[in-house]
Structure formats: structure tokens, C-alpha cells
């Protein structure tokens, strides 16, 4: 009889039966098929090397110092030093004078996600893509002080991290030249909300923000989330919407490759689909060949049944403009 009950429960779950309770602990690393935003307590979240870690979203953060932005580090890469960074220090003029920073070049800032640092895969993938196509100042934001530890603590650190990034950008340009019209902020997961806060602090005057599957857990109705007004042009690429990422169209232009949800081609777990956002973005920088079709609504985007006007996803064009929802299909292996 007990065996029959267990088998019946298993069949019920497989057939789309009741979701597990809020305290359900998922077993398969990276699989968030149980997850319900605002309800689930546990979720798998990848680190900077795409390794999934089980996170307790209810963990206490009372003793956490949310003012960690002053510990941000800024790592400069150019074609003269494409692999070995030069550390730029806020209010340290010599650190910039002795670097390869060129105010006449476009400047891209890359912000990693949770449990990561300046060497995370999003930083190296996007950095290499940008330096492949042209001369850039590529500055990796290393915000490990705020990003490591409890996920909930990292969420609380985002406003201060973004503000200090904005302070650094303002100081760099006012002291050594450059222009906000030539600045591109690129953020993955929690990093998307970091650059959103930076853009807001700078008066929404940065040329462009690219949000790569902006983190979803604890960002429902969160005023600190990336939004469509944080830069002159704000674009999102959604690849694990509704679980690790936000599915709602929070940017001016929102791309939903392969429906914008898990599983992305070549993936079978959510953490893989979440990471696919920066991999796809790097591919668009190098090859700029992904063309989306406009969707009438979110349901069309989810089903990847969009047939409207065309728009290129991603790339590094600082003069890009657009609005709406776009769907497209990709492959499952680089360059997708």
C-alpha cells in the first residue's frame, strides 16, 4: 500500500500535479523546475564558473553591511593588455595615468553576478568579444565584496555597488576625458541590476545598458531592479525567464531567444539556460547575426511564434534604438 501511494505521488508530480511546498529542497543541482517567485524558499543559483549552488532565500542577513560599494575594483583591458588587467582606483589619478585608458575610445563596463569576481566567465567572454571587434576600454567591475556570501545579502548590496560604479565613471570621465554617450554598461544576473542602479545614479545619460537575463529571485516589485529608463537605450536578453531570470519586459527592447525560458537549446537545467544569456550576447558582439521578430504579446514571445518587424539582438552598437518584444531561435552550441 505504501509503495502504491509513493508511486501515485510520483506519477502525479510528473503529470503536472501540485507544486512542492515553499520549503521543498530541490535535489538535482541546477534544476529549478519547482521554483515559484515569492513562494519558494530554495533555489539553485550559478556562481561565476556556472557551478550551481543551493540558496536559501529566507536566510537571515541582519549582520550584513550593505555598504560594500567602496570596495569595488575596476579592471581595465584594452587591445594592448587583452588578458592582464590594469587596476584603476577611484580618486587615484596615477592608476589611470599609468594605464592604457584612452578617452577617445568607447568604454564598456561589465558587471558579474552572484558568488563571482572579475575573472568570472561573463567578464572574460564579453571582454574577448569586444576586443575582437575593435578598440575599446573594457572595464570589468569586480564587486566580490558584495557579490559573495548569502544571495539575499548580495541583493541588498546592489544599490550601493551601483552608486559607487557611477561615482567612479563620473570621476574617470571628468578627470581623464570621455563621454557618457560613449559608455555601455553590461550586466549579467545580479550584475544587470547593479548597472541599472549605476545608470540611474548618472541621471540616465549613459548611451546603453545591456541586461543579460536580469536576476529574478527577490526582484519581484523591487524598486532596485533594472528598468527601461536607466539609460538612453536599455535592452534585455531573457533566457531563463520566470526562474533564475525575470520574464517580464523590464527593458525598452526585450529579446526572448527560444521563448526566453528553460530549457535553452543544449541545456536541460535552469542554471545553464541562465548563463546562456551572456554566451549569446558575446556571440552577437562577434557576429551580429541574430535577428528577432517582433511579438504582439508575452504569450507569443514564450511560444516563439513572433512574426512582426525585424531587429538585431545584442551587439555593441552605442547608437542602437528600439522598443518592444522580440522572439528568435538559436542553436545549442557556440556560436549558436
What the block records as the C-alpha cell of 215 is 536576476
50 in active site: no
- 176 CB burial (10 A radius; 0-12, 13-18, 19+): middle
Distances (CA, A) of 146 to 154, 191, 322: 5, 11, 33
Rg (the chain; Cα; Å): 20
Residue that is written with C-alpha cell 516589485 in the block? 221
List 117, 142, 160, 213, catalytic entry: 213
CA distance 336 to 334: 5
CA 323 to chain centre: 19
CA distance 286 to 335: 9
Dihedral angle, C-alpha 172, 174, 175, 176, nearest 10 °: 70
Residue that is written with C-alpha cell 576600454 in the block? 137
Beta bridge partner(s), residue 142: 73
Residue that is written with C-alpha cell 577611484 in the block? 90
CA distance 180 to 204: 10
Residue that is written with C-alpha cell 546603453 in the block? 208
CA distance 299 to 34: 21
274 in active site: yes
Nearest to 255 by CA among 311, 190, 332, 183: 311
Return the exposure string of 105-137: e unless at least 16 CB atoms fall within 10 Å of the residue's CB, then b: bbbbbbbbbbbbbbebbbbbbbbbbbbeeeebb
90 in active site: no
List 40, 152, 189, 273, catalytic entry: 189
List 34, 184, 193, 274, catalytic entry: 274
What backbone phi and psi angles, to 5 degrees, belong to 233?
-135, 130
* Residues identified as active-site: 189, 213, 274
Amino acid at each position: 500500500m505504501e509503495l502504491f501511494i509513493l508511486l501515485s505521488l510520483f506519477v502525479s508530480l510528473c503529470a503536472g500535479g501540485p507544486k512542492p511546498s515553499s520549503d521543498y529542497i530541490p535535489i538535482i543541482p541546477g534544476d529549478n523546475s519547482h521554483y515559484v517567485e515569492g513562494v519558494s524558499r530554495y533555489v539553485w543559483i550559478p556562481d561565476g564558473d556556472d557551478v550551481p549552488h543551493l540558496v536559501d532565500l529566507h536566510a537571515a542577513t541582519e549582520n550584513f553591511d550593505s555598504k560594500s560599494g567602496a570596495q569595488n575594483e575596476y579592471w581595465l583591458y584594452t587591445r594592448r593588455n587583452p588578458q592582464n588587467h590594469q587596476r584603476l582606483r577611484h580618486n587615484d589619478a596615477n592608476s589611470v595615468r599609468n594605464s592604457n585608458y584612452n578617452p577617445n575610445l568607447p568604454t564598456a563596463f561589465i558587471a558579474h553576478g552572484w558568488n563571482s569576481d572579475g575573472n568570472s566567465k561573463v567578464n572574460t567572454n564579453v571582454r574577448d568579444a569586444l576586443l575582437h571587434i575593435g578598440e575599446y576600454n573594457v572595464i570589468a567591475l569586480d564587486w566580490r565584496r558584495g557579490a559573495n556570501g548569502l544571495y539575499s545579502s548580495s541583493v541588498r548590496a546592489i544599490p550601493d555597488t551601483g552608486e559607487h560604479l557611477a561615482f567612479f565613471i563620473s570621476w574617470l570621465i571628468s578627470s581623464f576625458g570621455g563621454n557618457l554617450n560613449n559608455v555601455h554598461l553590461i550586466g549579467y544576473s545580479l550584475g544587470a541590476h547593479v548597472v541599472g542602479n549605476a545608470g540611474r545614479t548618472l541621471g540616465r545619460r549613459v548611451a546603453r545598458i545591456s541586461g543579460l537575463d536580469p536576476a529574478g529571485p527577490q526582484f519581484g516589485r523591487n524598486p532596485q531592479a533594472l528598468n527601461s529608463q536607466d539609460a538612453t537605450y536599455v535592452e534585455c536578453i531573457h533566457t531563463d525567464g520566470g526562474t533564475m531570470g525575470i520574464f517580464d519586459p523590464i527593458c525598452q527592447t526585450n529579446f526572448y531567444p527560444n521563448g526566453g525560458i528553460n530549457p535553452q537549446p543544449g541545456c536541460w537545467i535552469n542554471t545553464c539556460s541562465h548563463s546562456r544569456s551572456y554566451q549569446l550576447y558575446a556571440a552577437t558582439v562577434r557576429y551580429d547575426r541574430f535577428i528577432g521578430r517582433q511579438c504582439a504579446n508575452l504569450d507569443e514571445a514564450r511560444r516563439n511564434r513572433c512574426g512582426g518587424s525585424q531587429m538585431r539582438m545584442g551587439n555593441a552598437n552605442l547608437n542602437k534604438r528600439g522598443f518592444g518584444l522580440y522572439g528568435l531561435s538559436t542553436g545549442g552550441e557556440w556560436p549558436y
